[in-house]
Amino acid sequence: MELDIHTIRKDFPILEETVGGKKLVYFDNAATTQKPKIVIDAITDYYSAYNANIHRGIHHLAEKATAAFEDTRKTVKTFLNAASTEEIIFTYGTTDSINLVANTFGKKFIGEGDEIIISTLEHHSNIVPWQMLCEEKGAILKVIPINEDGELLMDEYKNLLSDKTKLVSVVHVSNALGTINPIKSIIDEAHKVGAKVLIDGAQASSHINIDVQDLDVDFYALSAHKLFGPTGVGILYGKKDLLLAMPPYRGGGEMIKEVTFEKTTYADLPYKFEAGTPNIADVMAFKFAIDYINTIGKENIAEHENQLLEYATEKLEEIPGLKIIGKAKEKVSVISFVLENIHPQDIGIILDQQGIAIRTGHHCTQPLMQRFNIPGTARASFSVYNTFEEVDSLIAGIKKVQKLLS
């Protein structure tokens, strides 16, 4: 299906903005996607029409707010094909979801001498919590290496697995390189040795259909703001039997069934992990973001993004002195590159002066940058509202960078 990108762009008010007198070209979608008007309006509607706390109130506003909040949980359940809404935990983002698992499953089920496996491609949020846990517990952190194209070495992964492996936590799609990891195989191999698997789906969720039951994944984490939704909202999917066995993450209101000074009993799933007043407005608006994706069709979104990726890759490879970092056979619409003798930050500054927003630096993946012996990259990442004409603007902008700085 060929999308009407001009019409889609009208759904995103920020794309009408100008930067330094030039129309905004937004190529920082791997950091966060822009928000359609339907999501922005949903937040305004909540605060102006039915702002109330949820779950405990019996008045009209509270009941309406509660229904809207729980409608999002139902929508996420379908979006991920989870077996039950009890398996959908609202968090404050992917980082929070990973920390939840580290501080509950990790602290209960991982002990001295046990092993956790991550990969070279990980974002810091899927490295640091496990380092902290290993330091506390005396566990061992192992890392799956990659090849020069930014692909996991699966034979090396299999060699790392043993009966000491308790958890494998890997990214579905690399935020820095766009590499799509073979997570189905990763999960299957981990389960053979009795290990559980957490998948960081922050980057994958906007590009790839996710079926947690088909994957047989134990935990899956994602963030709303990568899916045209608000910031400050995340999802942790977990298999029900695991969530039941895990202790609460935080204590307070919402996550209790009964409190006395002698003993507290905890709420049923999913509320056991949702202490305190949540980010109601943004959780509620997340449903509208998913509905928006479903209206366009994730397959159609992916097709357009892949066309942009192919077009941009071809054009960038024609530029002398430019090197693309990460050429995996399977990747999403993210391109990281370096220019000979030019610092990535300088690339970003000059492109910004032309109204072109990209990301520069290490992308919270310092070990990955060290693997390629570079301080960082310039990264352009595309979404459904981007156009081929915008890619042409990027190419012209990079040539201007070279002309100014070479």
Tell me what the pLDDT averaged over the chain comes to.
96
Q: Which pLDDT does position 259 carry in this prediction?
A: 84
CB count in 10 Å sphere of residue 223: 28
The stretches in the chain having pLDDT less than 50 are none
Q: Which pLDDT does position 101 carry in this prediction?
A: 98
Q: Which pLDDT does position 400 carry in this prediction?
A: 97
Q: Which pLDDT does position 258 carry in this prediction?
A: 87
The C-alpha atoms of residue 357 and residue 345 are separated, in whole angstroms, by: 12
Q: Which of 153, 150, 201 is nearest to 179 (CA)?
A: 150
Domains of the chain: 5-29+297-405 (3.90.1150.10), 41-294 (3.40.640.10)
Q: Which pLDDT does position 56 carry in this prediction?
A: 81
Q: Which pLDDT does position 234 carry in this prediction?
A: 98
Q: Which of 29, 27, 358 is nearest to 207 (CA)?
A: 29
Q: How far is CA 114 from CA 1, 33, 138, 163, 281, in A?
A: 49, 38, 8, 9, 41
Q: Which of 142, 210, 176 is nearest to 334 (CA)?
A: 176
Q: Which residues carry out catalysis?
A: 364
Q: How far is CA 256 from CA 58, 235, 274, 406, in A?
A: 19, 20, 10, 62
